[in-house]
Structure 1
Amino acid sequence: MTVSSPDKCIRTPLYSGNTHTLHDEFSHPGLTSDLSLDTEGHVSVSSNTGNKYKPAGVSVFNCWLSLPDEVWLFILSLLPLSCLSTAAQVCHHLHRLASDQSLWRSISVEKCSNLTDQWLFCMGGRCPRKLSLYRCTGLSVTSAGLERFFSLSRKSLEELKVISCSGPGLHGDLLLHLIGQLCDHVTSVDLSWSGATDAGVKALTDSGKGLRLETVVLNGCQVTDDPLIKLITRHRERLKVLHLYGCVHVPSEKRIREVNATVKVYPLPGHTHK
């Protein structure tokens, strides 16, 4: 699922009062009327003749809301997260369904220019398994906001991708440091073109005692061979894939094989790739 506007995860009431006006598309062609919806879901129609019609105890939405939860969850799973957040504001029933954790396991945001600590807090509370940020800007994202996100999703988060993002709070070194400190179940990290340096790799190696990394992607980052060798050594039991495209100073194949004979490194040092 892709969300284009993170702000929409904040719940706000769609309407107020006891009577809510419906859209004109519910009007019968040829009859000038005002349609309204009361708090019990009943429709009232008042025409210009003064006559009123109200279905006897029949709720317009009951037939839809009475569908099994499994059907609703399937329907909602087809929505982008921005629409899912909107659906959650319709009524209590849809709010409950749209808040189901199965719909928020994978959160993907692309080309968003206004990531905030509030949004991170909102997403952390969803306990996602995967968070992917691509070409986003988070000028107001702080280390405190990231800490709250990682703390809330500590037991659920397994995969993190922050690719080509900008803003001091989304710098690779800060992310690597917090992943090592706060994430217990992350197995895959992709911080390509995040500005990560040896300092971040060292922090991940030294502090990530409970981590069992299987995939690390640091394409375009300013990392060198010695910290990378220590990272490979630290996670040699589980580390399967290491991507280092665009990195100038990478360990030689011989050094890598001395500490981990099975890890797949791309590109393999000494080999050219078209």
Structure 2
Amino acid sequence: MLNKINPWKSNKKPSNLHDRIEQIKAESIPAHVAIIMDGNGRWAKKRSLPRIAGHHEGMKVVRKITRLASELGVKTLTVYAFSTENWKRPKTEVDFLMKLPEEFLGTFLPELIEENVRVEMMGDKEGLPAHTLRAVQKAMHDTRNNTGLILNFALNYGSRAEILEAVKRFSEDCNKGIVSSMDLTEDLFSSYLMTASLQEPDLLIRTSGEIRLSNFMLWQLAYTEFWFTDVLWPDFNEDHFLEALEEFQGRQRRFGGVK
């Protein structure tokens, strides 16, 4: 992982968490942070626990990081909750993962409403169990008027499927005469993606030591800053999140140009 440090920025971190947060808020905050939450199963295995115990513990971390992201002024937090490839996992694990949104949103929703957080989801809704979809749709409905942080769940999501679906929808609009193939630009194509209403991620965090994208937001991450850590997701805490933001603030983003 390449890290280009700003020579004018002090590397000294305040020991007090509040002061550290205020120092980070005084500089450029990534508007959109995306997280690949990896390592739940390994966390459980290290403790001789069933894999579902790791997923349950990881759910608590989502709450902590959502609170902190909201406090910092992050506009969108996208968490990779369940991929289209995750259906290959054992049925007992998949069934548990499909129940987590009900438990998570059932207990956390009042706080999300109070903290002005809006819940969104991207992914194939039709492939989800009815009880899972109901929980997510209720949270989206109940927070629809909130104007603070967008907590965006990538649920039953796969980037290649998203891109293929966007191509199909664009082709259909071409056939209907709504658009012309000659009109196609990056911005127009982006409007056919599930993230059409969101800014592309500024920062991607992946936990557990894996260094790959795993079919996550392949189009949207073209100029995103990556931050990888060996920390397993259930052990990820506020300090790690702040560390990722501090490193982000020390990088120079040139988007192919020169500064």
Give the TM-score normalised by structure 1: 0.30
Larger relative contact order (CA 8 Å, sep ≥ 6): 2
Give the TM-score normalised by structure 2: 0.32
Flag the structure with higher helix content: 2
